[in-house]
Amino acid sequence: MKKLMLGNEAVARGAYEGGCDFGSGYPGTPSTEILEALKDYDDVVVQWAPNEKVGYEVAMGVSLAGKRAIVTMKHVGLNVASDPLFSSSYMGVNGGLVCVSADDPNMHSSQDEQDNRLIAKAAKVLMVEPCDPEESRWMTKEAFELSEQFDSPIILRMTTRVCHQSGLIEPEERVSKKEKFFVKDIPKYVMLPANARQRRHKVEERLINALKFSNESDKWNPIFNGSKKIGIITTGVSFGYVYEIMAKEASILKLGLTNPLPLERMRRFAESVEKLYVVEELEPYIEDAMKAMGFKVFGSELRPYTGELNLTLVERMLKGEESTKITVDLSDVTINQRPPTLCPGCSHRGMFTMFRDMGLKVMGDIGCYTLGAVNPLKAMDSCMCMGASVGMAEGLTKFAKENDKVIGVIGDSTFYHSGITGLIDMVINKSTGTIVILNNDITAMTGGQPHPGTGFNIKGEDSPKIDLAEICKAVGVKRVRTVDPYNLEEVKKVLEEELSAKEVSVIIAKAPCVLTFRVNFNKIAKVNLDICNRCGKCIRVGCMAIGEKDGYPLIDETLCIGCGICVDVCDPLALSLVERK
Amino acid sequence: MEITNILLCGVGGQGILTSGRILALASMDANLDVKMSEVHGMAQRGGNVDSHIRIGEKVPSSLIPKGGADFLVSFEMLEALRYLDFLKPQGMCFVSNLKITPLGSSLKKGASYPENIEEILKKKAPVLKIIEAEKIAKEIGDMRMVNVILLGALSKNLKILTKTNFENGIKARFSPKIAPLCLKAFERGIENG
């Protein structure tokens, strides 16, 4: 019976059907829902890792044990896991190993839009690319077989529109597989240079074998025969657009196994059509391969080099400008942007208000709190990648002007992910910098996943809790302070003290995520209009619950949860908290 | 059979993804193919959220092009305006008469919420139906019912799905405890559609 599933849920279903024994990963949009769905299947052990590298390594250990494993991450997560990825390519697998790279063309929730097909090519591992939920299911399922058949980790490359697309799938039974166990094999699994040199040839052999398979496979790389006047090679989500527009007017080669590219199949297809297009998002990965074989191809010059494709863009690519649809004209109206903001009552708001008002130079990081950079807070001066705030704050502190006050600001989950090594660097190199850890007890931005400090795991079971302050002390930080982020007076005092200290210091601002833990202070902010002098300070804390009329604040009582930050910043004491009835 | 395109939009947290799910389940109940796209992650933090639902015998892709939506269902007035160019020239727009001011509006001079939003929508939308979904939800006694009320209004005009398809979609999405109230809200939506 058919089922409605999100692409990510379909990956989990496919993993279950493919006999997957283990799943790990680190949350990251658009990949997060895969493990969250996989945890509900019996017979699969599922756990979050502190970062993608560790998740990949645990999955590799499971593979060596002869079991099947999946590890999930967003595209930039694969950068973190790329060290084990590249070496595991030489080692090959015992049990099937599938690594999901969820790419984010158009950067809906990311800091870059790298095309990880290039990583699969560089790492010389097999790669598959589904186009919709049903393909996500069967390709994941079969990927475990491919992994064992070609002795290669498999990259399952998803994109946002495949991950977060719901559609109908046809579930199948879980496969029964031959039981395997760990086999001692030093030349295969110990990457000493002498062994690695031998394995290097195996990697090339694998690609030659996989190339033969890829060239011959109608299942992975099907051809949809239509008119031979136009031929289109496409992959992933782009296939849907191409098929919808050109199913009758063109022949289509749809690539599902995209590393190694089936060059011979592509050549035969190209020779069978009069005019050849390649339709793919981001890098001209397939297009370059066609050009290298000497074919004239239309493709990247007809589309934007950044962002996603859609029906309109693909239609324009394949049919020219004249096919644009008639739309309602909105050119004469102003429509305000509605940018994402910190939630009403969020424990980060007061912290960033204070950073801004104290004029600090803030090296930021990845998480909800990156929203501290947007109007009206604008209290973040850099955000690069997971964990970078610590090292960057160290570097900036070393060469800052005398009166510049620098802090690094990092979330709890991000600190466990990759902040600790940065802090060690600060200690051993005698930094005088200050790091603020915003601890809301959860991985919040991705929707509330547990991390090493939450005390429970992906299944909601109790798990050991790793204390942030103890970690900081253990790596040698002597000045570790904990503050209440809703007490701005205390926050200011502690910040001033630690910024003037001549050694490395850590301030932990601890309060639970109001969204995940449904925090409500059961109070509402009230304005006394007789006292209010319209200074606008409360409005500049950037809270959804505070609107404005004629310069006066307007409190939205359905959104306000009574955190009191606006009350704290009000100099004339026009704002106060009252009990929620 | 042409693909029917329905675009749902509003502000993060209004129940837009849930409505999309009900529509998709109703399509499944009608033995039709369906694809739906959603927005997760950063955009959900008070930003504008949309969900594209495409229903037909066979649906290859999940995104509705601009000028391609048969129906636009907006949970908020300004969002209806933002997404209006997704409608076909004869497309229908259903909008809840709720106004949520974007945060930035109170910070920039001259950029406040358009006061004549209703007039603008009436002028621009090919076919417009304003629904007092909040008021109806209040009468029913549960503000979370806004999304089902809007679906009720849509269902009256959506020929490819029957009332039973919708009811089965609602029953498949909600627990038996809350489903009866949703069905009641759905009826009220039909009355106002």
Domains in chain A and their CATH numbers? Answer: 3-216 (3.40.50.970), 223-322 (3.40.50.920), 348-453+464-510 (3.40.50.970), 523-579 (3.30.70.20)
Pair of tokens at residue A199: 């394995």
Q: Residue A482's closest CA among A512, A506, A452?
A: A506
Cα B71 from Cα B138, distance rounded (Å): 25
Q: Residue A560's closest CA among A343, A338, A377?
A: A343
- List the 235-264 stretch of A: residues with Cβ below 8 A of B: 237, 239-241, 243-244, 247
For chain B, the 3-state helix, strand and coil shares in percent, each to the nearest 5, are 45, 20, 35
Q: Which of A165, A336, A337, A348 to mutate to test the interface with B (most CBs of B within 10 A)?
A: A336
Q: What does the radius of gyration of chain A's CA atoms come to, in whole angstroms?
A: 27
pLDDT classification of B110: cutoffs 50, 70, 90: very low
Cα A325 from Cα B5, distance rounded (Å): 14
**What is the number of H-type helices and E-type strands within chain B?**
7, 6
In three-state secondary structure terms, A359 is: coil
Q: Which residue in the set B20, B61, B85 is minimally distant from A327, CB to CB?
A: B85
**Nearest Cα residue in chain B from A549:** B106
Distance from CA of A131 to the nearest CA of B (A): 9
Task: Write down the H helix ranges in chain B.
Answer: 16-29, 77-83, 117-124, 133-140, 146-155, 163-173, 179-192
Fold of domain B4-100+116-192: Pyruvate-ferredoxin Oxidoreductase; domain 3 (3.40.920)
Cβ burial, residue A324 (10 Å; 0-12/13-18/19+): middle
What pLDDT score does B15 carry? 86
CB atoms closer than 10 angstroms to residue A399: 8
Looking at the complex, does the CB of residue B144 fall below 8 Å from at least one CB of chain A?
A: no
Residues of chain A with Cβ-Cβ distance to B16 below 8 Å are none
Query: Would you call B106 and A371 a contact, using CB atoms and an 8 Å cutoff?
Result: no
Per the CB < 8 A criterion, the answer to whether A214 and A257 are in contact is yes
Looking at the complex, does the CB of residue B127 fall below 8 Å from at least one CB of chain A?
A: no
What pLDDT score does A323 carry? 59
First and final C-alpha spacing in chain B: 25
**Nearest Cα residue in chain A from B35:** A167
Cβ burial, residue B163 (10 Å; 0-12/13-18/19+): middle
Per the CB < 8 A criterion, the answer to whether A77 and A63 are in contact is no
What pLDDT score does A327 carry? 86
Question: How many Cα atoms are found within 13 Å in the side-chain-facing hemisphere of A72?
Answer: 29
Cα B181 from Cα A288, distance rounded (Å): 57
CB atoms closer than 10 angstroms to residue A26: 31
Per the CB < 8 A criterion, the answer to whether B71 and B95 are in contact is no
Looking at the complex, does the CB of residue B164 fall below 8 Å from at least one CB of chain A?
A: no
Instruction: Give the orientation angle of helix A488-500 with respect to helix A348-357, to 10 degrees.
Output: 50
**Does position B104 have pLDDT exceeding 70, yes or no?**
no
Residues of chain A with Cβ-Cβ distance to B106 below 8 Å are 539, 546-548
Query: Would you call B104 and A337 a contact, using CB atoms and an 8 Å cutoff?
Result: yes
Cα B22 from Cα B146, distance rounded (Å): 13
- List the 20-49 stretch of B: residues with Cβ below 8 A of A: 20-21, 24-25, 28, 33-48
Looking at the complex, does the CB of residue A167 fall below 8 Å from at least one CB of chain B?
A: yes
Q: Which residue in the set A6, A310, A446 is minimally distant from B63, CB to CB?
A: A310
Q: Which residue in the set B12, B33, B60 is minimally distant from A243, CB to CB?
A: B60
Query: Would you call B65 and A325 a contact, using CB atoms and an 8 Å cutoff?
Result: yes
Cα A546 from Cα A538, distance rounded (Å): 8
Q: What is the dihedral of CA A30, A32, A35, A40, to 10 degrees?
A: -110
What pLDDT score does B43 carry? 57
Per the CB < 8 A criterion, the answer to whether B64 and B54 are in contact is yes
Residues forming beta bridges with residue B131, ordered by sequence position: B96
Pair of tokens at residue A74: 């967003």
CB atoms closer than 10 angstroms to residue A552: 16
Cα B30 from Cα B45, distance rounded (Å): 34
Residues of chain A with Cβ-Cβ distance to B34 below 8 Å are 4, 166-168
What pLDDT score does A552 carry? 93
Task: Write down the H helix ranges in A412-502.
Answer: 412-418, 420-428, 468-474, 488-500
Amino acid at residue number B165: N
Distance from CA of A20 to the nearest CA of B (A): 26
Q: What does the radius of gyration of chain B's CA atoms come to, in whole angstroms?
A: 16
Reported as a single tens digit per residue, the pLDDT across B19-72 is 999 999 999 999 999 999 988 766 566 788 999 999 999 999 999 999 999 999
In three-state secondary structure terms, B190 is: helix
CA distance readout (Å), A392 to A108, A362, A396: 25, 10, 6
**Does position B112 have pLDDT exceeding 90, yes or no?**
no
In three-state secondary structure terms, A25 is: strand
Residues of chain A with Cβ-Cβ distance to B42 below 8 Å are 29, 108-109, 340, 445
Pair of tokens at residue B45: 């933090």
Looking at the complex, does the CB of residue A68 fall below 8 Å from at least one CB of chain B?
A: no
Q: What is the dihedral of CA A322, A323, A329, A335, to 10 degrees?
A: -110
Per the CB < 8 A criterion, the answer to whether A70 and A37 are in contact is no
Query: Would you call B45 and A341 a contact, using CB atoms and an 8 Å cutoff?
Result: yes
Pair of tokens at residue A267: 């050549």
Cα A223 from Cα A266, distance rounded (Å): 10
Looking at the complex, does the CB of residue A222 fall below 8 Å from at least one CB of chain B?
A: no
DSSP string, A37-104: HHTTSTT-EE---SSHHHHHHHHHHHHHTT--EEEEEEHHHHHHTHHHHHHHHHH--SS-EEEEEEE-
What are the domain boundaries of chain B? 4-100+116-192
When pLDDT is averaged across residues B129-139 and rounded to a whole number, the result is 95
Query: Would you call A548 and B67 a contact, using CB atoms and an 8 Å cutoff?
Result: no
Per the CB < 8 A criterion, the answer to whether A565 and A488 are in contact is yes
Strand runs labelled E in A467-542: 479-483, 505-510, 523-527
CA distance readout (Å), B118 to A296, A316, A543, A547, B121: 53, 34, 26, 21, 5
Distance from CA of A170 to the nearest CA of B (A): 12
Instruction: Give the orientation angle of helix B146-155 with respect to helix B179-192, to 10 degrees.
Output: 50
Looking at the complex, does the CB of residue A447 fall below 8 Å from at least one CB of chain B?
A: yes
Reported as a single tens digit per residue, the pLDDT across B72-88 is 999 999 999 999 999 99
Residue A458 dihedral angles phi and psi, to the nearest 5°: -60, -25
Pair of tokens at residue A497: 């003290």
Helix (H) or strand (E) holding B34: strand B33-37
Q: Which residue in the set B37, B48, B89 is minimally distant from A326, CB to CB?
A: B89
One pLDDT digit (tens) per residue for chain A, 581 residues? 899 999 999 999 999 999 999 999 999 999 999 999 999 999 999 999 999 999 999 999 999 999 999 999 999 999 999 999 999 999 999 999 999 999 999 999 999 999 999 999 999 999 999 999 999 999 999 999 999 999 999 999 999 999 999 999 999 999 999 999 999 999 999 999 999 999 999 999 999 999 999 999 999 999 999 999 999 999 999 999 999 999 999 999 999 999 999 999 999 999 999 999 999 999 999 999 999 999 999 999 999 999 999 999 999 999 987 656 788 999 988 888 888 889 999 999 999 999 999 999 999 999 999 999 998 999 999 999 999 999 999 999 999 998 999 999 999 999 999 999 999 999 999 999 999 999 999 999 999 999 999 999 999 999 999 999 999 999 999 999 999 999 999 999 999 999 999 999 999 999 999 999 999 999 999 999 999 999 999 999 999 899 888 889 999 888 899 999 999 999 999 999 999 87
Pair of tokens at residue A463: 């798990």
pLDDT classification of B107: cutoffs 50, 70, 90: low
pTM: 0.96
Distance from CA of A472 to the nearest CA of B (A): 29
Amino acid at residue number A183: V
Looking at the complex, does the CB of residue B107 fall below 8 Å from at least one CB of chain A?
A: yes
Looking at the complex, does the CB of residue A368 fall below 8 Å from at least one CB of chain B?
A: yes
Looking at the complex, does the CB of residue B75 fall below 8 Å from at least one CB of chain A?
A: no
Query: Would you call B126 and A446 a contact, using CB atoms and an 8 Å cutoff?
Result: no
CA distance readout (Å), A423 to A383, A413, A430, A443, A481: 17, 15, 11, 20, 15
Query: Would you call A445 and B28 a contact, using CB atoms and an 8 Å cutoff?
Result: no
Amino acid at residue number B85: D
